Structure 1
Amino acid sequence: MRKLLSTKAVYSITPFTLLDYPDKTACIIWFAGCNMRCLYCYNPDIVLGKGKIDFDTVLTFLRSRKGLLDGVVLSGGECTMHKNIIPFIKEIKALGFVVKIDTNGSHPLVLQKLLQEKLIDYVALDFKSLPEAFETITKSQLFSEFEESFSLLKNAVVPFEIRTTFHSELISEAAFAKMITYLETQNFEGNYFVQHFVNNVSTLYKLDNSDREIRHKNFSTSKIKVIFRE
């Protein structure tokens, strides 16, 4: 246990948010490191950085927030790539918090265990693109792992959301329409959240501004409601 608690995997803590966990007051635990290098990533310091905070410090912080917060969001970076994530979440759950994870879906075996042991209460799964653009956007070859994680969530009872970051130079309107079709062929129903790339912010790679006109078009289908988030 001491070795677990001394693990420095966390980059920083956001002590309060009303936006990142639906209908919950929460904090965000930002895990350092990621196995993707998405061109539009807004967290280059976190993705390329090393952990600064150990789990013991995080748990001490969470004990001070009992009764004040409903939940904990584990984000990053990629939280599921850290070897002690499962025992760490067990400690968080023991404190009485609900847990949401933000994930790129690249570690389906970890996700499977989290679901089986009922350690997570909500999942946000990033749908980066279809296979033809996936490696270009993420600098990885992990689409099949994403699909496996997607399949696990579709068959689980835990609520989850699918979300995409849209940049007009990386995903064309036609490609975006194909992504929606893909979700339908996978028998996904519900909300599909799309975050438009925020121009003029620091990202992992320097990108030109993205055309935001797509926000004004209706892509929803009878099964999927496409929601553009600001």
Structure 2
Amino acid sequence: MSAASSTNRPARADAIPIRLVAPAPAVVGAGEPAVAGLVPFSSVDWPGRLSAVLFIGGCPWRCRYCHNPHLQTRHAAYRWAELYGWLESRRGLLDAVVFSGGEPLSESRLPELMAAVKSLGFQVGLHSAGIYPGRLATVLPLLDWVGLDIKARADGYDALTGRSRSYWPAAVSLEMLLASDCAFECRTTWDPEWLSETELLELARELAERGVRHYAVQARRSSPGAVPAACLSDDTLDLLREWFDGFDYR
């Protein structure tokens, strides 16, 4: 049996029972995909969809504001067969599965995982910074929606990501999405410490002129639920709503 088919379904129909309760983190053996986190139910990770979110451990960038630093190092905390069995029990209850991170494209088995999810009838979403455009091209036919992080204008990327030439892959990934039929939004995490409102507007106008139709600005928070570090002005918000078919301020 190929690796892909063994990922899509356990070898025997009764090998892994359908789970009604979400799997708990466990000690995971070598060779498992790096699924390091799970949110069983989310209404915010894909706008308009009820989703389960699978977080992939591993990311080569070191963004100064990263809200998931525990996912920067590759590791696995869930057994895929157990997750698959639980997802089977969610059919008819959830619309989609979103792969997030970390950087989910860092997982070499991601095409297999997405194909397995698709075989259960779920839509498939992806959160990505566009770090691996070649891998994005591979999974793009499996995707129904992408949330693409655009962190700054080109000259500000490396200072945020801690890596050199980091704008290039993000730009290639954006062009790929613009040329595809896949629904997507671009989103930017904003704090005036690294991006003034004027610079944010310059970035947003550039994205709109390139053809991006859906854009979101995420105010940086020190922790989930915390008060944002700063708030955009009404004038800035009015312009952003004018430039995009869909704009969300989170």
Q: Same fold (TM over 0.5)?
A: yes
Unmatched segments (≥5 aa) in structure 2: 8-30
Q: CA deviation at 1:72?
A: 0.2
Unmatched segments (≥5 aa) in structure 1: 203-208
Q: CA deviation at 1:178?
A: 1.5
TM-score (norm. length: structure 2): 0.80
Question: Could you say which structure has the larger radius of gyration?
Answer: 2
Q: Greater share of strand residues, 1 or 2?
A: 1
Amino acid at match of 1:133: G
* Deviations, residues 51-89 of structure 1 (Å, cap 9, x unaligned): 211322221221121121111010010111111101111
Aligned ranges 1:49-198 → 2 under 5 Å? 50-115=75-140, 118-140=141-163, 141-188=165-212, 190-198=213-221
* Deviations, residues 114-134 of structure 1 (Å, cap 9, x unaligned): 22xx21100000001112110
What is the CA–CA distance in structure 2 between the aligned matches of 1:161 and 1:228, rounded to whole Å? 10
What is the CA–CA distance in structure 1 between the aligned matches of 2:239 and 2:135, rounded to whole Å? 33
What is the CA–CA distance in structure 2 between the aligned matches of 1:168 and 1:134, rounded to whole Å? 15
Higher relative contact order (CA 8 A, sep 6+): 1
What is the CA–CA distance in structure 1 between the aligned matches of 2:193 and 2:65, rounded to whole Å? 11
Q: Residue 230 of structure 2 corresponds to which residue in structure 1?
A: 211
Aligned ranges 1:20-59 → 2 under 5 Å? 20-48=45-73, 50-59=75-84
Identity between Structure 1 and Structure 2 (%): 26
SS at match of 2:177: helix
Q: Which shifted more, 4-13 or 105-114?
A: 4-13
TM-score (norm. length: structure 1): 0.87
Query: Measured at CA, do residues 8 and 191 of structure 1 come closer, stay the same or move farther in structure 2, by a change above 3 Å?
Result: closer
What is the CA–CA distance in structure 2 between the aligned matches of 1:105 and 1:194, rounded to whole Å? 17
Amino acid at match of 2:77: K
